Structure 1
Amino acid sequence: MILRKSLLLLGIGSAQIDLILPKNTYKSGECINGYFLIKGGTLEQRIRRIECDLIMDTHSTGKEEILKTSTILSSRGINSGESNEIPFNFCLPMLKEPYKREVSYRLKTRLILDKGIIGKDDDWILIDSE
């Protein structure tokens, strides 16, 4: 039991998160309705919050820009081996020129658990002009 708790502090065997989206192409300003799939790790853990950022990556400069953030606060627990779905609703901002050759977009998700343990997920999306 002590070994499992020690491994959790290193992120080994902790709960995992996956953002499930209905499609991967959206229009500027469109609302996305999906869900977070959370799978329990080796021990019960407490979910503190889920953060999701819309990030614009500019390949020519290597620059990342956070365009919008969504945070869900929580105090629920997740048992070992359990799976939970949490609804995800996110409205994309209106972008003047969403589709550019050197730019890509992703939703970067972080699952913050008790004791600061973090699970991560990246989902690349395409944003077309209206």
Structure 2
Amino acid sequence: MILRKYMSLLGVGSATIDLILPKETYYPGEFIEGIFMIKGGTVDQQIKRIECDLVMTDLTNGNEKVIDTTTILTSKLIQSEESDQLTFTFKLADYIPTSSDERSYRFKTRLTFNEGVESKDQDIIQIISK
């Protein structure tokens, strides 16, 4: 049991997060609704927060810019092998530039624990004009 706890502190067998979205294509001003799926690892872990950034990448030079962030502060305990869900809601700005050959978007999600390595997830979306 002690070995499993130390392994989870290093990220081996720790809880994971996955942002599940109903589709990949969205319009400026649209509400995005999905769920954060959290799966427990080999030991119980205390969740500290969930952060989800909408990141725009300039594909010509590789620069990234955080457009907006959603943060959920919590003190939930995710038990070993347990699965849990939290709702995700995000409103795109009305005047956000659309995706193109030079510009892409993705959600970068981080699950942070009181102890241990963060769990990360990335989900690519496309923003198209109406």
Output the TM-score relative to the length of structure 1: 0.95
Pick which of 30-39 and 114-123 moved more. 114-123
Structure 1 residue runs without a partner (length 5+): none
Moved beyond 6 Å, runs of 4+:
none
Counterpart of 1:7, as a letter, is M
Distance 2:17 2:111 in 1: 6
Matched, 1:118 2:118: yes
- Equivalent pairs counted in the alignment come to 130
How large is the RMSD of aligned CA atoms in angstroms? 1.1
Matched, 1:20 2:15: no
Q: Which residue of 2 aligns with 1:41?
A: 41
Task: Give the share of equivalent positions with the same residue, in percent.
Answer: 52
Summarize the alignment of residues 3-82 of structure 1 with structure 2, pairs less than 5 Å apart. 3-82=3-82
Counterpart of 1:32, as a letter, is I
Q: How far apart are residue 9 of structure 1 and its match?
A: 1.3
Checking the alignment, whether the CA contact within 8 Å between 1:32 and 1:91 is kept in structure 2 is: yes
Checking the alignment, whether the CA contact within 8 Å between 1:68 and 1:93 is kept in structure 2 is: no
Q: Which residue of 2 aligns with 1:100?
A: 100
Output the TM-score relative to the length of structure 2: 0.95
Structure 2 residue runs without a partner (length 5+): none
Pick which of 114-123 and 79-88 moved more. 114-123
